[in-house]
Structure 1
Amino acid sequence: MIEVAYVTKDMRRDPYERITHLGGAGWQRSQPDVVQQIEQGQEDYYILLDGIPAKLTVALSRFGAKYLKTELEVEEPHILLSLPSQAA
């Protein structure tokens, strides 16, 4: 499993498309690449919430866009969006 420590955001987009990249210690990938890796079973990603891992899952917005969220979130990725932001 790969820990996500930060996200890169495009604040002009809606919450489902706002995250453009995810990253951690020594790596950064685009959201579409991470979605593809999860869907194909190549990698699992997670974030730490109070020291407890929360796995990322792929979801489909009401507009048909694939996006990432934690397994704890019902719809919008508020927890993921609360991670520190870093430039792409």
Structure 2
Amino acid sequence: MAPRFEVSCINKIPRDNIYERIQKIGGKAGGGWTLSVAEVIDRIIAQREEFYVNRPRGDVVDIEVAISRFGNHYIKTTVDGDEPNNLLSLPECPR
């Protein structure tokens, strides 16, 4: 089984522009880490690592790779029926 990492922050500039993609995700494990979305996509597709978001209610939603109608890969959380978006609701990662 691939190691799992909790994602606790994102980097998206400008933060409130709905047309811009998330650039990096990060977590607190091991003193803190960040990865580009391209790196995360590669690691998920290769099944080397798994990523998830721990929601305020205490439940966990996995991050998966999806393909846009234009054929571009991107990350999203599995459908859980709740709003707001689990990734976009995370705070900014330190720079």
Code of the residue aligned with 2:27 in structure 1: it is G
| Percent of matched pairs sharing the same residue | 37
Greater than 6 Å deviation, 4+ residue runs = none
- Rounded to whole Å, the distance in 1 between the matches of 2:36 and 2:65 is 14
Please report the TM-score for the alignment, with normalisation by the length of structure 1: 0.83
Q: Name the residue aligned to 1:59.
A: 66
CA RMSD in angstroms comes to: 2.1
Residues 1:30 and 1:72: Cα distance change in structure 2 (over 3 Å): same
Structure number with greater Rg is 2
Structure 1 gaps of 5+ residues are: none
Q: How much has 1:63 moved relative to structure 2? A: 2.1
For the 8 Å contact 1:73–1:79, the answer to whether it is kept is no
More strand by share: 1
Instruction: Verify the 8 A CA contact 1:3 1:24 in the aligned structure 2.
Output: yes
Identify unmatched segments of 5+ residues in structure 2: none
Q: 2:36 aligns with which of 3, 25, 30?
A: 30
Q: CA deviation at 1:80?
A: 1.0
Aligned counterpart in structure 1 of residue 51 of structure 2, from 45, 49, 70: 45
Change (3 A) 1:18 1:87: farther
